[in-house]
Structure 1
Amino acid sequence: MNLLVVGATGTLGRQVVRRALDEGHQVRCLVRSPRKATFLKEWGAELVQGNLCEPDTLPPALEGITAIIDAATSRPTGSLTIKQVDWDGKVALIQAAAAAGVERFVFFSILNCEKFPKVPLMEIKRCTELFLAESGLNYTILQPAGFMQGLIMQYAVPILEGQAVWITGEAAPTAYMDTQDIAKFAVRALEVPETTNKTFPVVGTRAWRADEIISLCERLSGKDARIARLPINFLRAMRQITRFFQWGWNIADRLAFTEVLATGKPMTASMDEVYPVFGLDPNDTTTLEAYLQEYFSRITKKLREIDYEKSKAKKKKRKTPMKKP
């Protein structure tokens, strides 16, 4: 299948590209900067320069394409807003795909987006779901809750470096999933007719609270966490402040996500009926324990190698004979 991956350089998008290539698909990636996407070309993907926010660049990228997997989203620190990328850009892409006769469109939304109309990203995801469903395209909508990869910088790295781990006491438990596993569902959707014009949750094996993740990281790293708590009301106030500045609009919209956390309701869903539809084995899904265990094992091994090289360099320096005057 000739596949176009949008958002291919992102945390999830790159795993979609890797999985699709491994399964024998011809993969083309829509990228804003080919220079920053050379690793995708080295893997075997074709790069085409384009931008969701520049609709004229989309038709050339869609020539000969039979399916799209859309993993693009705005960056909190980027210059483009959520509305520009996650709404205007997606509308342009869906319209271009319909005009090009694309046969399948896989879209990544967010779990429970319909329940939070006042949270910009959630509401835009919901509206995009509706727009896609009414576009005439054969679609599959996948709804992750959170990526395990995001927990590394949020919890693992600060604990390893003795820095503060910032948490909110009311944060909702979340069923995080490894992006490699999410990519399996996305690529598999292209081959399973039963996934056509349907929406599926794609979540991890269980929902984890922040304190549970911290305890797990402490056990695996052998270090104690320095926990700093941020009240939800403080984050709400920060959102109001950043909204007054254009440079802060993206940050303000992301801070609105605190309203999802404030509910305290687990971000999870049953996957009992999802795995059989996709023909995937739930036992192959990475657990959070296994994911963090592998991460800390790699870090520990790397630190040992560094210590060994330092020790070897010191011994070599001591053995070097002094030069005669």
Structure 2
Amino acid sequence: MMLLVVGATGTLGRQVVRRALDEGYPVRCLVRSFRRASFLREWGAELVLGDLCEPETLPPAFEGVTAVIDAATARATDSLSVRQVDWEGQVALIQAAKLAGVERFIFFSILDAEKYPDVPLMEIKHCTEQFLAESGLSYTVLRTAGFMQGLIGQYAIPILEKQAVWVTGETSPIAYIDTQDLAKFAVRALKVPETANRTFPVVGSRPWGAYEIIRLCERLSGQESKVSRMPLELLRAARKIARFFQWGWNQADRLAFTEVLATGKPLTAPMDETYQVFGIDPKELTTLEGYMQEYFSLIMKKLKEAEYEKEKAKEKAMKRKMKRSPFKKVEEPKP
């Protein structure tokens, strides 16, 4: 089975590639730049140039491909909009997969996407799910809530650097999942027939609120946080301003996601059926506490090593300075 991974350089996509290679699948990656994706080639994946927003570049990527795992999504810093990448690009990809006779198509979506038609990314994900279901392809949709990897920049690093941690009032608790675990479900779907033409929630063991995560980071780092509350109305105003400028459209669409978080409703789902169908033991998955503990253990060790090296360098500098001292011992005159 030749597997095509789309969005392979992203946080989730690279974990899909790593997992698939480890399980022995031949992997091809659709990439926009060989330079940025060179690490995938070093892992053992084949690279092919292509762009979701340029449909004419897609057919060569599908030569000999029997399955697709699609992890592509627009980044907030992209010049292209969410609509261009996550809707128009996805439609082009699904159509190309259909023409190529692909046997399986795995797609990542967002939990409860259908409940938020006013949030662009949620609405687009929901529409893509429907388009995929009606395409005639054998598909599996995996709906997730949030990645643990994103919590490092949001909470851990600011606390370590004694900077402000921004929260939006009483935000919705989220059942975050490690991208390595999500990749495990995606690759497993390829060989479990019962996952065909179905949608599954794939989330963490329990939802975590912002203040719970902050307290966890404080305990693991031994440092107090500086929490700053961001009024929801201010974020809404920032979104409206960003919509006035083309370069701000992606940021505006991402800011709209705060409307989901501001509801206070937990973003989670029961996982019993998912575990059973995929044949995965929940004990195999990473907990948020375990993930953060591993991160802080590693980073604190590195900080101690850096401090030790800094002290050694300081001692060496002092010794060199003493050797070069102009105050030499004066010999007493001989009688």
Structures share fold, TM-score greater than 0.5: yes
Task: List aligned pairs for 1:1-325, cutoff 5 A.
Answer: 1-320=1-320, 322=323
Cα distance in 2 between the residues matched to 1:120 and 1:170: 22
Residue identity in the other structure for 1:39:
F
- Displacement of 1:324 after TM fit? 9.1
| 1:103-136 Cα deviation digits (max 9, x unpaired) | 0000000000000011100000000000000001
- Displacement of 1:322 after TM fit? 2.4
Cα distance in 2 between the residues matched to 1:114 and 1:318: 65
| 1:24-77 Cα deviation digits (max 9, x unpaired) | 000000010110111111000001111000001100001000000000000112
| 1:69-103 Cα deviation digits (max 9, x unpaired) | 00000011210000000000000000000000000
Kept in 2: contact 1:218–1:225 (CA 8 A): yes
Paired position in structure 1 for 2:330? none
Cα distance in 1 between the residues matched to 2:126 and 2:177: 21
Given the superposition, is the C-alpha separation of residues 233 and 324 from structure 1 closer, same or farther in structure 2, using an over 3 Å criterion? closer
SS at match of 1:35: coil
SS at match of 1:5: strand
What's the Cα RMSD here?
A: 1.1
Cα distance in 1 between the residues matched to 2:261 and 2:276: 30
Cα distance in 2 between the residues matched to 1:212 and 1:322: 54
Residue identity in the other structure for 1:153:
G
| 1:8-34 Cα deviation digits (max 9, x unpaired) | 000000000000000000000001011
Residue identity in the other structure for 1:234:
L
Cα distance in 1 between the residues matched to 2:125 and 2:66: 23
| 1:209-258 Cα deviation digits (max 9, x unpaired) | 00000000000001111001011111111111111111111111111111
Q: Which runs of 5+ in 2 are unaligned?
A: 327-335
SS at match of 1:109: strand
Q: Which runs of 5+ in 1 are unaligned?
A: none
| 1:127-166 Cα deviation digits (max 9, x unpaired) | 0000000001000000010000000000000000011000
SS at match of 2:105: strand
Residue identity in the other structure for 1:200:
F
Paired position in structure 1 for 2:332? none
Please list every run of at least 4 consecutive aligned residues from structure 1 whose deviation after the TM superposition is greater than 2 angstroms.
314-325
TM-score by length of 2: 0.95
SS at match of 1:142: strand
Bigger Cα Rg: 2
SS at match of 1:273: helix
Kept in 2: contact 1:162–1:226 (CA 8 A): yes
Kept in 2: contact 1:170–1:232 (CA 8 A): no
Residue identity in the other structure for 1:130:
Q
TM-score by length of 1: 0.98
Kept in 2: contact 1:201–1:271 (CA 8 A): yes
SS at match of 1:34: coil
Q: Mean alpha-carbon deviation: is it higher for 22-31 or for 256-265? A: 256-265
Identical positions, percent:
73
Q: Aligned residue pairs: how many?
A: 325
| 1:274-318 Cα deviation digits (max 9, x unpaired) | 111001110011000000000001101101111111122222233
Q: Mean alpha-carbon deviation: is it higher for 244-253 or for 312-321? A: 312-321
- Displacement of 1:323 after TM fit? 5.1
SS at match of 2:323: coil
SS at match of 1:166: strand
Cα distance in 2 between the residues matched to 1:165 and 1:324: 48
Q: Mean alpha-carbon deviation: is it higher for 122-131 or for 227-236? A: 227-236
